[in-house]
Chains A and B, each alone.
Chain A
């Protein structure tokens, strides 16, 4: 409830006014779970912008996967991350034997969530795509029937690049692609995903935003 209100009263109006997202392929966005949405990661705004694309009625089901060490570091951020952003915290570093770091994500998928993953791991340089991490392949091998929807954002790195605190308004493009399915092997799946993301990126670069 609190989460839906937050999106209705704060995120949606702010995204509409300050950013303005021009979404292409919106019909491919999943409206029910389980599903995985995969996006490039350039800015703290990515998550909010991506979530603002979903209708309010499904917001409660949308859960971004985020690093526990970063988002649970103090009580205030932790409260916000868990209750408002609705993240699924995962550990990046601590890796005990026999402990599956993706267990909470698989659990959320089994409960019908729409999970958001940024497979680049960390926020990279604006509008570039770093190498995709294998975690998503791991998830898919465990739940091969879940559709994966690739999304590429162009322009958010201009609004709030890594290391900046001042937000500068720009229109942003979001390119959403058809769902991708598991292809039997992790390597093949990761290759297809990377290929699709690069295709979306090519569509995005009509003009390069930077001199």
Chain B
């Protein structure tokens, strides 16, 4: 770990995240003490799991590039595994699924070697063309379109989309002197998760009108708007320390993360509703599965990446 070598702003960012969680832990403790009649066990569990997520994330970004890419690849693997465990798959496709899994280490290998051209077409072009061919070699045509569609969608969401978060670590560091190598990733992940929490809190406090009653009955207009605005404000505030973005560009980044984070969230909700489960898994106590936590990031990561990439790289 090369803590001393980090840009000061990144050091502060980590301390601030730690501080924020510490405050959340203390507040939840105080709530438990002062209102013993209410049950806060889920809140406590959620905060505890947040500590673990932040710990894993810190390990992922504070060591060297290889460790970072491997950890983020593992996260992608867990998300894809959770997705495949939820959706219906055909028995005949056993080996096709194996090939689909194999796309994960290959995709993150392109990331590790910073080969942008391959990283950006491997899953949308090569894997997209290869998997149906592998299915045809097996010869089962019943349910073919559905099988190939669900498989490719899962790879795009959980592997291609999330690998954009990892690619931010291999972008040339000299363009972002303030944030260094990991500034952009910390900015993206922190704002995405902050946006989730902000939308939740705004919704709980002021929410009345439901924004998409059929897909996600807990989401309200007030929660959505309040969340997006808070996220945008914070995005402008943090941008000079972690990113190369100018102030007006940071407004765009904040709106983009706030809006697309919401869309990612309801997209995974729609998937779960279609299948008929409440949580995507039970890997993260209090949060549900890993997809429940990464849902917003599956949208914000590729969109924020291309926003910054277009502007600066």
Which residues of A pack against B, CB within 8 Å?
Answer: 20, 22, 126, 155, 158, 161, 164, 166, 168-172, 206-211
Contact of A168 among B78, B86, B90, B97 (CB under 8 A): B97
Q: Name B's interface SS.
A: helix
11 CB contacts below 8 A, A to B, read A155-B85, A158-B91, A161-B91, A169-B77, A170-B81, A171-B85, A207-B88, A207-B275, A210-B90, A210-B91, A211-B147
- A210: nearest residue on chain B (CB-CB)? B91
- A22: nearest residue on chain B (CB-CB)? B282
Contact (Cβ within 8 A) B276 A126: no
Instruction: Give the distance to chain B from A35, nearest Cβ to Cβ, in Å.
Output: 26
Bound together, the chains give a CA A171 to CA B85 distance in angstroms of 6
Contact A207 to B277, CB < 8 A, known contacts A169-B101, A170-B84, A170-B85: yes
List chain A residues, Cβ under 8 A from B95: 166
Bound together, the chains give a CA A22 to CA B147 distance in angstroms of 25
Contact (Cβ within 8 A) B94 A168: yes
With A20-B283, A211-B88, A211-B89 given, name 6 new contacts (CB 8 A).
Answer: A20-B78, A168-B97, A169-B101, A210-B88, A211-B90, A211-B147
Bound together, the chains give a CA A77 to CA B277 distance in angstroms of 41
Contact of B143 among A158, A172, A208, A211 (CB under 8 A): A211
Which residues of B pack against A, CB within 8 Å?
Answer: 77-78, 81-82, 84-86, 88-91, 94-95, 97-98, 101, 142-143, 146-147, 275-277, 281-283
List chain B residues, Cβ under 8 A from A22: 281-282
Instruction: Give the distance to chain A from B67, nearest Cβ to Cβ, in Å.
Output: 16
Contact of A164 among B94, B143, B146, B275 (CB under 8 A): B94
Bound together, the chains give a CA A23 to CA B273 distance in angstroms of 23
The 10 A-B pairs of least Cβ separation, nearest first, read A171-B85, A211-B143, A170-B85, A168-B97, A211-B90, A211-B88, A169-B81, A22-B282, A168-B98, A166-B98
List chain B residues, Cβ under 8 A from A155: 85
